Structure 1
């Protein structure tokens, strides 16, 4: 009897959980987090949904990209990660994305419901139920996956590359990367977009620009348990923030909740001073990364463990090679991916996080494979290595690899939850989250590369790791406050993107690609290095049998070597020192930069428009012939107004326009006017303009080459004054600018010659019709520098 009952129970169980498509050999079942079936004959995928109204994570990404930096559709590019759930509605299952931005964190069900009903949700897709068995639902998910989830067509259109549409007849599932695991399922689809190409960029990276084929990846992932504890955000902590509005908040508290993004990390032994982690944070490097880059990336990325050791963790951060059978887009792996593009471009670090809490589930770094070549080129330009047929350029490779180590640490830092710190360079390179310029110096008449880049994690990085990942068995609030106070006591600064990137930005110590506690002193140093390297520049800066067009390309980063330090120095003028201040701290809230410091900065900046400083030596002009056949100009070449010939005038004009775009930025000018009205010891707009006129219009040269270049400089200054007068500067500023234009006019009238007469015609035309000069003068575009893009 017992055996009969056992047989009946087994039969009943098998019948209850009988699979869909039983007996259909063309249907291949894949068991995992969400079981799915694949029909090879029809190229269809069916999902078996067993849990309704259960929140899961949905992620889309590009597994195979376009390969153009400018278009920006890279291999491994992550899309959004959103919380979704399946809900039955009649004969359909709806995939619904709840609204995570507006919540009521309370036990009051009615209060939660009132917020839920107040704001819109999004239904991402509707699936017709194909079959139902015992509360299990079979749906055909093919149309959900075979679609442009990543927005490829929109990206191509917005970049003026053409209008494309998805061609489903040329699209199919890519089963090799479609897999099921216990906590996630991964689907990969080859999508072809057909259209009429318009832009050069899409034509340059496709075999047939009318048919653009990429791979898009979809993931459904189990969300983590509720044991993760969010950590409160502080504007001084150096982490990114996630926010939402909590309508259950008492009136005397802020309704906006702010938390940081971070991985889950816990000590095995919370009471131990040093302990291993319950689950260490492990990152994996793309196996397609070649040596010696591979070793450099591994070494630089592992620097982060220094910061975790400092807060009592042993081997909590690890970096390994990606297993051979692992997919870089598998959410279980934090990955550093080696990304190829047709041109040099940025690298970036992102992550997939739990939108409910900010817990990072997957870190994903994309490193542009061509970036290393720019540092190699800079080193090659600064020290002619190829004398007498020599081919030893190991010093250049070492500098480039040193930069790659820092880049690895930098981008991993983003995936750990950390923001840029563009003030770190003024704090003795206190963070890898800054953008570093090679730190060089002249020793015995030669450029010394030994300290070009740092070789360790910075003091600020240890602060950010401590704030985000330090264990606090109790009194977390007090512990976090102590960490930030210690950072303040050490004089560490944190200033991020919005205060550093704009040309008119005010912060005097937040810059990209700069060095030095004093920006103006470092500009003088950079100019001295540049001058020495230009004096030594020759055909020995390229290898034997290379075209002289390559020599011109090597000269580009040398000629503009000072560009980023110029940017940094300009911010001292009309500049401010401030922190992300909170009430109760003792740090600086906001202070003006002293007039003496401003004048030192102006003195250094004037060198960057000094003809003798920026003129390309005549002897070098003999080394830059028209471009060799097959070696045309690129985005990283000097531009020319002289056709095929090298344009030395254009290079000078571009250089001058660059400096003036920072120094005479309307926002900066308005601050200069305000600061001087409050304190007459500050640098005034009158003084700045007088100095500009003195080194240009009122300067004379006997040498005809210098004389012509000075005309270029003078005209650029005059046109910038016209533009400034028409810009959004205060009325007082317009009056000062007009006065200085009149000063120039009087000088030209008393020193008439052919050129000065033309300047007078220009000024008189401005007087008659000032609005005609409301736009900046058109100059040749500066070749792209080290950081193409802005990541």
Structure 2
């Protein structure tokens, strides 16, 4: 009986096994089962395989076909403060977009929010004394200024990749197009049209350990301009402005901020003490160079790093030695402050592998504008937190006696309108009318000299 039962079970198990196998075989001609395996998520290598990589403070990937740029942000860069500085390199002089105009200086940080990276400006104009309980309110009632939020397109163990065209081919970092004063009559001044991203492009990309530079050509279209601009404007409907965006590492050194002194004029940063009850709760700091003595015990010592100025190869040859000598005269003042050979002057060779717009170089350069807005200008920019000067340039107009601005003021009154525009720009403490006044004097003198048949050499001497 037992043997019969075992035999029956064995036959049944074989039958069930064959039936199960038959059920698993797909019917003839039936489509294969769908693959439910999730596709592998594209990595950074996949996203940048057609791009040229530029390493430095920030890593950039530029697509070799479209020119678009992607920005790689390391995870250890999240939450850190960086300095942003913009420069105009080429544009309408009437809008102060001349070569070497130092424009926006700000501190920013990058923060991660879910699947996005946010770029936010940091408010550096407020101070809180940590010993005052009120300092616990720091950051309250100070709205965040997030100027860009970009979705992460790829990620690896070290960082995040985002599209960067919205950062650089835009006015998010620097509002290039000035805001016209309310009530200004149409056509009173030359203005830019709307930004056209399609016609805008990248001109150059550079990245070094302490700074990353992105140079862009921003295109502005105005189909019906009321003002045709000056002789520098080829067609008022279509204007390109070349701008440089520079990201800088915040210097890590022992530089100490120095409070301003109302008896002496400085460029500087305004800072308000939010924990003070003083009628003048100001902790403003001045902008100054970082000089450290090689020999701290010496009354006069050479600096560890001098202030180096380059005389650009655009400088007329006959002026170079004079400029060299004049620059070295500054050492007399620095010696009284305890520094020997603080200023070093060099001449840029005709063939070099660096650009004068690189913030690592302080440059004295020449330009010949069709519509100059100044005779010479010497802007600088500094760390907003400390006032340490990080870079400077001096630009001199070749014909600083150009009559264009004078005639413009006499016959079209555009200069007066431009002055109104400038007054509308907030926090502009760097305007000076001396250049125009000197031009007026120079033109009067040259007119008299030419009337008395002065030689070209005599006129050149007073140029």
Whether these two folds match at TM > 0.5 is yes
- With over 3 angstroms needed to count, the CA separation of the structure-2 counterparts of 1:219 and 1:76, relative to structure 1, is same
**Structure 2 residue aligned with 1:45:** 69
5 Å-filtered alignment, 1:90-489, equals 90-106=114-130, 112-148=135-171, 149-152=174-177, 154=179, 160-162=189-191, 164-175=193-204, 178-196=205-223, 198=225, 202=229, 204-249=231-276, 251=277, 255-322=281-348, 324-346=352-374, 347-371=376-400, 392-400=455-463
Report the Cα distance in structure 2 between the residues aligned to 1:384 and 1:171, rounded to whole angstroms: 44
Q: Quote how far apart the aligned CAs of 1:63 are.
A: 1.9
Which has the larger helix fraction? 1
Report the Cα distance in structure 2 between the residues aligned to 1:165 and 1:295, rounded to whole angstroms: 45
Q: Deviations over 1:152-201 (max 9, x none)?
A: 364798963245011122111113xx111011110011111111354556
Q: Deviations over 1:376-410 (max 9, x none)?
A: 9967965999899977443432333xxxxxxxxxx
User: 1:76–1:328: 8 Å Cα contact kept in structure 2?
Assistant: no
1:87 aligns with 2:111: yes
User: 1:197–1:203: 8 Å Cα contact kept in structure 2?
Assistant: no
Q: Quote how far apart the aligned CAs of 1:275 are.
A: 1.0
Q: Quote how far apart the aligned CAs of 1:373 are.
A: 6.1
- With over 3 angstroms needed to count, the CA separation of the structure-2 counterparts of 1:310 and 1:43, relative to structure 1, is same
The alignment partner of 2:231 has SS state of helix
5 Å-filtered alignment, 1:315-714, equals 315-322=341-348, 324-346=352-374, 347-371=376-400, 392-400=455-463
The alignment partner of 1:224 has SS state of coil
Report the Cα distance in structure 1 between the residues aligned to 2:295 and 2:396, rounded to whole angstroms: 36
Q: Quote how far apart the aligned CAs of 1:82 are.
A: 0.6
Report the Cα distance in structure 1 between the residues aligned to 2:119 and 2:235, rounded to whole angstroms: 36
- With over 3 angstroms needed to count, the CA separation of the structure-2 counterparts of 1:384 and 1:205, relative to structure 1, is closer
Q: Quote how far apart the aligned CAs of 1:232 are.
A: 1.9
User: 2:229–2:236: 8 Å Cα contact kept in structure 1?
Assistant: yes
The alignment partner of 1:298 has SS state of helix
User: 1:71–1:201: 8 Å Cα contact kept in structure 2?
Assistant: no
Q: Deviations over 1:717-774 (max 9, x none)?
A: xxxxxxxxxxxxxxxxxxxxxxxxxxxxxxxxxxxxxxxxxxxxxxxxxxxxxxxxxx
1:20 aligns with 2:44: yes
Q: Quote how far apart the aligned CAs of 1:310 are.
A: 2.9
Q: Deviations over 1:347-386 (max 9, x none)?
A: 3222111111111111122322221568899679659998
Report the Cα distance in structure 2 between the residues aligned to 1:309 and 1:391, rounded to whole angstroms: 43
User: 2:96–2:373: 8 Å Cα contact kept in structure 1?
Assistant: no
Q: Quote how far apart the aligned CAs of 1:317 are.
A: 1.2
Q: Quote how far apart the aligned CAs of 1:231 are.
A: 1.4
- With over 3 angstroms needed to count, the CA separation of the structure-2 counterparts of 1:269 and 1:88, relative to structure 1, is same
User: 1:379–1:396: 8 Å Cα contact kept in structure 2?
Assistant: no
The alignment partner of 1:21 has SS state of helix
- With over 3 angstroms needed to count, the CA separation of the structure-2 counterparts of 1:196 and 1:254, relative to structure 1, is same
Q: Quote how far apart the aligned CAs of 1:339 are.
A: 3.0
Q: Deviations over 1:416-453 (max 9, x none)?
A: xxxxxxxxxxxxxxxxxxxxxxxxxxxxxxxxxxxxxx
**Structure 2 residue aligned with 1:701:** none
Q: Return 5+ residue gaps in structure 1 as ranges.
A: 1-18, 401-791
The alignment partner of 1:174 has SS state of strand
The alignment partner of 2:310 has SS state of strand
TM-score by length of 1: 0.44
How many residues are paired up? 377
User: 2:192–2:239: 8 Å Cα contact kept in structure 1?
Assistant: no
TM-score by length of 2: 0.73
Which has the larger strand fraction? 2
For 2:96, which of 65, 72, 86 is the aligned residue?
72
- Which protein has greater RCO, CA pairs closer than 8 Å, 6+ apart? 2
User: 1:261–1:359: 8 Å Cα contact kept in structure 2?
Assistant: yes
Report the Cα distance in structure 1 between the residues aligned to 2:320 and 2:175, rounded to whole angstroms: 30
Report the Cα distance in structure 1 between the residues aligned to 2:127 and 2:390, rounded to whole angstroms: 22
Q: Quote how far apart the aligned CAs of 1:211 are.
A: 0.8
The alignment partner of 1:78 has SS state of strand
Q: Quote how far apart the aligned CAs of 1:204 are.
A: 2.4
User: 1:62–1:78: 8 Å Cα contact kept in structure 2?
Assistant: yes
Q: Quote how far apart the aligned CAs of 1:322 are.
A: 4.0
**RMSD of aligned C-alpha atoms?**
3.3
User: 2:117–2:149: 8 Å Cα contact kept in structure 1?
Assistant: yes
Q: Quote how far apart the aligned CAs of 1:254 are.
A: 5.4
Q: Quote how far apart the aligned CAs of 1:84 are.
A: 0.5
